[in-house]
Amino acid sequence: MASNAHLPAAHAAEVVREFGPYPGAPAVHGVSHDGDRIWAATALGLLAIDPASGEVQRTLPCAADAGTAFDGRHLYQIADSQIQKIDPQSGRVVGTIPAPSGQGSDSGLTWAEGSLWVGQYRDRKIVQIDPETGAVRRTIESNRFVTGVTWVDGELWHGTWEGDESELRRVDPTDGAVIERLAMPANVGVSGLESDGAGLFYCGGGGSGKVRAVRRPGRA
């Protein structure tokens, strides 16, 4: 595991709520937020979760192997070596592009600035791609496995999970330098990350089957 000695000190992540696990969905592979609902990628497909009640409102059956994103109209879902574009109303797949690794090793997914941003787990990279073609626009390297990625208010964050340690990290989008670290509780993993655009991050909990809400650090 790469050393964190040269990085900013980590602060404890404040987990404010847990959702799940849900019947038939023993693991969470990715997370998104459409402004109203949390979307969790599971073995059942995509679960739309009401963040107020924690109840599953809808299930969209689809292959949901890793990260999930929402562009304001469509959902995007990593399915093996592809990224599927999904109509959230009908659940119909309306387009497909290749995922950047081409090997099924892509992890996180988010939408920002007219691009999809893809976390690559063992490659320890974040890749910005064209949502229509999958062409790579930018690659950012990390020193940890990347398990989720999100943008909020111009800040790029990604999840890490190695061994028993998981963090949420804010990084410089130009060179990947770590700016801020939030350490998750011991033995709590992060398998997917998305901001609600306000004060919370939603984190997939891997094999726990849970989605956790983490308070985003305030800004002066």
Total-model pTM: 0.94
The per-residue pLDDT for 218 is 87
Segment 62-85 shows an average pLDDT of 96
Q: Does residue 2 sit in helix, strand or coil?
A: coil
Q: Write out pLDDT tens, residues 79-132.
A: 999 999 999 999 999 999 999 988 888 999 999 989 999 999 989 999 999 999
Segment 51-78 shows an average pLDDT of 97
**Closest to 67 in 3D by CA, of 32, 96, 91:** 32
**Closest to 165 in 3D by CA, of 140, 152, 147, 142:** 147
Work out whether strand 178-183 and strand 10-12 pair parallel, antiparallel, or are unpaired: parallel
Q: Is the pLDDT of residue 1 over 60?
A: no
